[in-house]
């Protein structure tokens, strides 16, 4: 077995063992898909929605709701 194939086999073994340990702890793997926040389409849609809210007659109520459910972490930047 060439060194690269041996390395791949060792990596597969480590991943398999790691997954077995997690399963033994009662965990199970899942896969989720989330929006790509780095894509230009995401940025354009976020901007579009932000502008709609900013121009809305309910903007103050919307912002009050967001403020009531969002908790900013206490750190040196939030003071």
* pLDDT (0 to 100) of residue 2: 92
Cα separation, 69 vs 40, whole angstroms: 28
* pLDDT (0 to 100) of residue 35: 95
The pLDDT tens digits for 13-66 are 999 999 999 999 999 999 999 999 999 999 999 999 999 989 999 999 998 998
* pLDDT (0 to 100) of residue 71: 80
Per-residue pLDDT, averaged over 2-19, amounts to: 95
* pLDDT (0 to 100) of residue 9: 95
Q: Residue 65 in contact with residue 55, Cβ under 8 Å?
A: no
Q: What is the pTM of this model?
A: 0.49
* pLDDT (0 to 100) of residue 77: 58
């Amino acid at each position: 077995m060439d060194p690269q194939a041996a390395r791949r086999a060792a990596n597969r073994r480590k991943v398999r063992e790691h997954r077995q340990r997690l399963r033994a702890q009662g965990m199970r793997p899942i896969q989720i898909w989330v929006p790509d926040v780095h894509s230009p389409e995401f940025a354009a849609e976020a901007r579009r929605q932000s502008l709609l809210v900013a121009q809305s007659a309910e903007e103050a109520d919307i912002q009050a709701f967001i403020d009531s459910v969002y908790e900013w972490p206490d750190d040196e930047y939030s003071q």
